[in-house]
Amino acid sequence: METLSRDEVNRIRNADQEGGHELFRRCALAVLNTGSNLDNTKQVLERYPDFDIQLVQSDRGVRLELINPPQAAFVDGQILVGIQEHLFSVLRDIVYIRDLIESGERFDQRDSQGITSAVFHILRNARVFATFEKSRKVVCWGGHSIGREEYEYTKEVGYELGLRGIDICTGCGPGAMKGPMKGAAIGQAKQRIYDGTFVGVTEPGIIAAESPNPIVNKLVILPDIEKRLEAFLRLGHAFIVFPGGVGTAEEILYLLGILLHPANRDLPVPLLFTGPASAAPYFAQIDHFIATTLGEEARSLYEIVIDDPVQVARESVAGIDAVIRFRQRHDDACYFNWQLHIDPEFQYPFTPTHAAMATLQLTSGQPPHQLAVNLRRAFSGIVAGNVKEEGIRAIEEHGPFQLQGSPEIMQPLDQLLTAFVEQQRMKLPTSAYQPCYRLIQSEG
């Protein structure tokens, strides 16, 4: 690890000994397990029960001792350099979060501004902010469980972005998170751009199910899904959504819910939905769900582009240029979107227990941005039940989550989730999918 004082080394060891070791072990295992075909956090942990990682102190800093690690992380007995870098990124973020964020002494996590400040400092500590000249970043969202045709399309879009010098930020995993980075790396190489930035943004609950792909050269771990989503919005200049499942739907609803707030009405936030020709029905269904639940104003916030990577790249670049000009006029930072208003309900961590899921207000008649909060939480709970260890165990013990709401909301929700299941977008298709949720329509 980089040069550290003895006090810093001791604080790292103390944080590790005070309950942080298991969290560190899990995240480290996820990094070492890159390339695995498992997206079930519980199964990943069960596959390597004897794995451990220890901190070894020296005057030069900290060394990591790996015990029974996955052998895929090594070549000829030497750990892969990219995986080694990611391991120390895990250590850096977990220690920093525990030391400065979760202690509550510096950032008030009950206050919206305090939460945003915490996100800013985590990102700054991870050194993901670019200089003014390099502040041209597209956030790409999409599923980890996608077919070959959709994956190849994400690479084509990434390639066109890379040719135009655009950096990529994704959720760091496989599928639609890896494809744009891989394509952009090739595009930038053709332009002899050697300092491209490929930011992977994740959180402890999801990293084992979506291990960092090898293209990521800036890995950052946020404490929870809400701060992870805020990090995306603060970092990105434009947003591209590829086909995906419930996690992608959660991201869409988070962004749309925030953009629907009156305080953000005049902010430029380019948002494109795109995929190959075969994905046209998928996006038609997403579009129908948004129109039915959130209304026409939400539909006006994005554009759907089918089977045209060049158009996607050109519109993204034009959108980024408009965003940068806007921020310059308003004296805002080009690397962090301070002006974006995020309602506290989008920031406070939501724990998807059975009780919390059952009491979500999935009813019509709410302001669209408020309904988006509850729909986002519903999808977040389904993600937890699909791939996160705590959610999987809760489903095993208590059965499926129950989601209840008015027919105007539940019927389109049922149609969308049914389509995700039929298209194998819930999980990697290693076995038949068993829904972790049950939908109930309210009477009257």
258 contact partners, CB below 8 Å, separation of at least 6: 233, 264, 340, 341, 342, 343, 346, 369
Q: Is residue 123 part of a domain?
A: no
Q: Could you tell me if 291 and 380 lie in one domain?
A: yes
Q: Could you tell me if 276 and 151 lie in one domain?
A: yes
How sure is the predictor about 292, in pLDDT bands with cuts at 50, 70 and 90?
Answer: very high
If you ran DSSP here, which 8-state letter would residue 18 be given? I
Which of 76, 106, 136 is the C-terminal boundary of a domain?
106
Report the domain count for the chain. Answer: 2
Q: Could you tell me if 35 and 180 lie in one domain?
A: no
What letters, b where the CB count within 10 A reaches 16 and e where it falls short, cover 411-435? ebbeebbebbeebbbbbbeeeebeb
Q: Could you tell me if 23 and 136 lie in one domain?
A: no
Q: Is residue 118 part of a domain?
A: no
pLDDT, residue 227, reads: 96
What is the spatial distance between Cα 3 and Cα 71, in angstroms, rounded to a whole number? 29
Q: Could you tell me if 132 and 190 lie in one domain?
A: yes
What is the spatial distance between Cα 61 and Cα 8, in angstroms, rounded to a whole number? 9
Q: Could you tell me if 149 and 87 lie in one domain?
A: no
Q: Is residue 78 exposed (0-12), middle (13-18) or buried (19+ Cβ within 10 Å)?
A: exposed
Which of 106, 138, 165 is the C-terminal boundary of a domain?
106
In this structure, the number of other CB atoms found within 10 A of the CB of residue 133 comes to: 7
Which of 75, 106, 137 is the C-terminal boundary of a domain?
106
Q: Is residue 203 part of a domain?
A: yes
pLDDT at 16 over 60: no
Q: Is residue 113 part of a domain?
A: no
Q: Who has greater pLDDT, 81 or 101? A: 81
Residue (of 71, 58, 61, 131) closest to 92 by Cα position: 61
Q: Could you tell me if 96 and 132 lie in one domain?
A: no
Mean pLDDT in residue range 294-300: 96
285 contact partners, CB below 8 Å, separation of at least 6: 415, 416, 419
pLDDT digits (tens, 9 = 90+) for 357-412: 999 999 998 999 999 999 999 999 999 998 888 898 999 999 999 999 999 999 99
Q: Could you tell me if 63 and 145 lie in one domain?
A: no
Q: What is the CATH number of the domain that holds 159?
A: 3.40.50.450
pLDDT at 1 over 80: no
pLDDT digits (tens, 9 = 90+) for 220-278: 999 999 999 999 999 999 999 999 999 999 999 999 999 999 999 899 999 999 999 99
Q: Is residue 122 part of a domain?
A: no
Q: Could you tell me if 37 and 153 lie in one domain?
A: no
Q: Is residue 232 part of a domain?
A: yes
For residue 141, the enclosing domain spans 128-444
Q: Could you tell me if 344 and 443 lie in one domain?
A: yes
What is the spatial distance between Cα 38 and Cα 45, in angstroms, rounded to a whole number? 10
pLDDT digits (tens, 9 = 90+) for 42-70: 677 778 888 988 877 766 667 888 999 98
Q: What is the CATH number of the domain that holds 28?
A: 3.30.1850.10
Residue (of 237, 235, 250) closest to 199 by Cα position: 235
Q: Could you tell me if 260 and 329 lie in one domain?
A: yes
What is the spatial distance between Cα 53 and Cα 294, in angstroms, rounded to a whole number? 46
242 contact partners, CB below 8 Å, separation of at least 6: 140, 141, 142, 143, 146, 150, 153, 154, 157, 176, 179, 180, 248, 274, 275
In this structure, the number of other CB atoms found within 10 A of the CB of residue 332 comes to: 17
Q: Is residue 1 part of a domain?
A: no
Instruction: Calculate the dihedral angle through the C-alpha atoms of 179, 298, 358, 348, rounding to the nearest 10 degrees.
Output: 70
How sure is the predictor about 297, in pLDDT bands with cuts at 50, 70 and 90?
Answer: very high
* Pair of tokens at residue 376: 């986002």
Q: Could you tell me if 142 and 101 lie in one domain?
A: no
Q: Is residue 101 part of a domain?
A: yes
